[in-house]
Amino acid sequence: MLEYNYGTMKYLATIAVFIFVAQASRKDFWDKSYVVLTFALVIIAVFTLRAVWYQAKTTAEAAQATERSVRLQEALNQQRVEVSGWRIGGRTESNPPRFTIFADVSNPTAVPLTIKSVSMKALGESSADYEVENMLASDSDPIGVSWSGEVKPEWLDSYQENMLVLNFSVSVTYVDCFGKEQIQTFLQACFLGPKYFMTSPVRRYSAKSNK
């Protein structure tokens, strides 16, 4: 519409100049022609600037609409991972006793994501780190991780009574379907002993995005 108005105004300004020139006397032809031409150029310049302003405004609005659409898609397709299947294995009766805690990392969302790394540890202890770099779909087998440790002297009595409580942390770094790197950290309390293992029904997790 603005392009049409702009062309129309140029045409009308040109017609006005020719009409004025045709009706002007020779005596004041040049003086009046200068004024009319200047006026016509001002009109054309005004409509040119308005067309440029409108185009810039339209482009900015389109960019904002695109950004809102992308954010909406990210919100609707937000991905996450799940850590489950906590279990114990590798218990020994050595002195000190040893054990291994296992867990599974899975993708509960509909869209595949890429697991970059997993870190698992008992809080206050060294971690078991895994470099994965593997795509994980919702129907893929979960990625198994584990942490092995020995019963410390200060843990021994609680362990022998099947009452040792250890808090475990599992941090998963992954890249979602939008190419953004995300980190989810899960905290899980585990109760264990020579013949006993149970996880707390209450667990916590946190998430952050690496931009």
Are 123 and 61 within one domain? no
CATH number of the domain enclosing 165: 2.60.40
Last residue of a domain, one of 50, 76, 102: 76
Are 142 and 167 within one domain? yes
Are 58 and 146 within one domain? no
Q: What pLDDT sits at residue 32?
A: 57
Are 97 and 58 within one domain? no
28: containing domain: 2-76
Long-range contacts of 5-12 (CB under 8 A, 24+ apart): 5/47, 6/47, 6/48, 6/50, 6/51, 9/43, 9/44, 9/47, 10/44, 10/47
Rounded average pLDDT per 10-residue block, the chain, 211 residues: 52 57 53 64 77 78 65 64 95 94 96 96 95 94 96 96 96 94 95 95 72 60
Q: Is 146 exposed, middle or buried (0-12, 13-18, 19+ CB in 10 A)?
A: middle
Are 114 and 159 within one domain? yes
What is the domain count for the chain? Answer: 2
